[in-house]
Every structure is written in C-alpha cells, then in structure tokens.
C-alpha cells in the first residue's frame, strides 16, 4: 500500500476516534447538567433516636408528565442520592404516588424510633405505585382514609 494512502487512512481513523470521544464527553456533561427529572424536597423528618431521616419529595420528569410524591429513607446526615443522568432519587424510596393535584403532600410521623407512619388522606389507592411495608429495621404504616 502506498505510504501516503496509509497515512491518510490512519489520520482519518484517529480523527473519527477523537470526534467520538468528544461527542461522548459532551453528551455526558449535557445529560448530567440537564437531567430528565427534577426533584423537590418538601420536608425532612428525623427519627426520635436521631438515626434515620424520612424525606418527602416531589418528582416531575418532563413538561407533560404528572407530578409524583414520594418518601425516601436514609441514615440521618447522609445526602440524598440522585441518579447521574435521570436525576431521580430512587435509593431508599419506600412510597410513590402520582398526584392528582400538585403539592398533594402526605404527613410523615415517626411513631417510634423504628416505625414511620405516612398519613395521606388525599391519596387514591389506584394512584399509589409503591408502598413498602418495611425498609431495613424500619416498619412502615399507612393511613389513606380522611
């Protein structure tokens, strides 16, 4: 093969590789800085023994999508973890409900150091997508009636 053609092919491959790396880096930065979902913290309640934190949050993933209310549990003092690209905070999520109206906040109450009660009189059972009964050492109770 002619040395000139060989250099042209190698140069083209190197250029293509560089462009792919730059495109991947730009995409990573773009999707991290503009996540699909937004999370808003409504309230944070520490357990009576100070070991656990229950956080009430609202999520929306796009202009046309519904709002979701969810409750996440974690050790007190630990940060809320959000997914790198999607922006969702799903780690420790124990309760998830689609909102019929924005700001449909349930009330959180630590009834003991190991028991959390979620009062949600405005939550409709058919809109509740997740309702765990236990999270690690924490027992979970729910009240949906008005």
d(CA 10, CA 104): 60
Q: Note whether 81 and 97 are within 8 A (CB).
A: no
Percent of the chain with pLDDT over 70: 91
Q: Note whether 71 and 54 are within 8 A (CB).
A: yes
What pLDDT shows up at residue 88? 84
Is the pTM higher than 0.85? The answer reads no
Of the given ranges (63-67, 71-75, 115-119), which has the lowest mean pLDDT?
63-67
The predicted-structure confidence for 3-41, as pLDDT tens digits, reads as follows 888 888 888 888 898 888 888 877 767 666 665 788 889
Q: Which residue has the higher pLDDT, 64 or 98?
A: 98
User: Above 80 in pLDDT, residue 130?
Assistant: yes
């Amino acid at each position: 093969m002619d040395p000139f053609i060989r250099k042209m092919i190698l140069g083209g491959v190197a250029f293509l590789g560089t462009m792919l790396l730059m495109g991947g880096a730009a995409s990573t930065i773009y999707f991290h800085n503009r996540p699909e979902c937004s999370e808003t913290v409504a309230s944070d309640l520490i357990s009576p023994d100070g070991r656990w934190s229950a956080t009430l949050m609202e999520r929306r993933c796009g202009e046309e999508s519904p709002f979701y209310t969810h409750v996440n549990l974690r050790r007190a003092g630990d940060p809320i973890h959000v997914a790198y690209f999607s922006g969702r905070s799903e780690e420790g999520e124990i309760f998830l409900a689609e909102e019929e109206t924005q700001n449909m906040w349930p009330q959180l109450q630590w009834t003991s150091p190991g028991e959390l009660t979620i009062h949600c009189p405005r939550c409709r059972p058919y809109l509740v997508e997740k309702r765990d009964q236990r999270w690690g050492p924490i027992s979970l109770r729910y009240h949906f009636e008005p």
